[in-house]
Chain A
Amino acid sequence: MGDKKFAIIATKGTLDWAYPPFILGSTAAALGYQVGIFFTFYGLNLLKKKLDLKVTSLGNPAMPMPMPVPVMAQILPGMQAMMTSMMKAKMKAKGVASIEELRELCIEAQVRMIACQMTVDLFEYSTSEFIDGIEYGGAATFLEFAGDADITMYM
């Protein structure tokens, strides 16, 4: 554990937005930072034992597509699943780590992961759905860690 501290709030639960907290968290840990990630709202999905993260171009016009697809076609059943599998295939081909792999590296590097207890209750999740070794806490728990952090980011 290093001297520098890095605090992250992860609020999003899509495949694309799962990357920033785990990439920065694992890398910071490798550089000697003490890292804590607070997972709240949709970010809680990143702590599920069985990850089922998806990506969509809906509401995300910047997402590169292999061919132009009209928005009205993007809402068709199966499109989200197709985009997700295409994105995963592309990532694999480019040597980008899977979220499972990055999360495992974070756990190995003793990145502290805190699940927001309020959102766990709100969405009626069971703690058995989440990976072991995480903590459950609230805003005060996060602020206790982030209060003297060198970097704090909201994602």
Chain B
Amino acid sequence: MSQYDSELDASGLNCPLPILKAKKALAALQSGQVLRVIATDPGSVKDFEAFAKQTGNELVEQQEEGGKFIFLIKKA
């Protein structure tokens, strides 16, 4: 399991809330720190890729675990 500095559980939340809450959570981190996001919205898979691409925050890792989508995002 990869290391992370902060965690956001966005389970049960639908578009665009996981992205908006992740953005807020990242704002509280320092550059280089990693945020772990847990989401259940299947649309979040493509959305977090698009979020990373457009904001420059790196999507270090993503995986599916028993119906949950886990993302590791490193703050730019």
A6–chain B nearest beta-carbon distance, Å: 12
The B15-73 residues at the A interface (CB cut-off 8 A) are 15-17, 19-20, 23, 40-41, 51, 54-55
Q: Dominant SS at the A interface?
A: loop
State the CA gap A105–B16 with chains docked (Å): 11
Candidates A23, A31, A32, A105; contact of B15 at CB < 8 Å: A23
Q: How many A-B residue pairs have CB under 8 A?
A: 31
Cβ of A95 within 8 Å of any chain B Cβ, yes or no, is yes
Question: Please, which residues of chain B bring their CB within 8 A of the CB of A97?
Answer: 13-14, 16-17
Structural contact, A95 and B12, CB atoms closer than 8 A: yes
Please give me the residue from chain B that is nearest to A97 by CB atom. Answer: B17
Q: Is the CB of A31 within 8 A of B16?
A: no
> Is there an interface contact between B51 and A31, defined as CB atoms closer than 8 Å?
yes
A-side interface size class:
10 to 19
Quick one: closest A residue to B12, CB to CB? A95
Instruction: Please determine whether B14 and A30 come into contact, CB atoms closer than 8 angstroms.
Output: no
Contacts of A31 in B (CB 8 A): 51, 54-55
- Residues from chain A with Cβ under 8 Å of B54 in the complex: 31-32
B10 (CB) vs chain A CBs: closest residue: A95
On chain A, the residues within 8 Å of B17 by CB distance are 95, 97
Q: Which residues of B contact A (CB under 8 A)?
A: 12-17, 19-20, 23, 40-41, 51, 54-55
> 22 pairs across A/B with beta carbons < 8 Å?
A23-B15, A23-B16, A26-B16, A26-B20, A27-B16, A27-B19, A30-B16, A30-B20, A30-B55, A31-B51, A31-B55, A32-B54, A94-B14, A95-B12, A95-B17, A95-B40, A95-B41, A97-B13, A97-B14, A97-B16, A97-B17, A105-B20
Binding site for B on A (CB under 8 A): 23, 26-27, 30-32, 94-97, 105
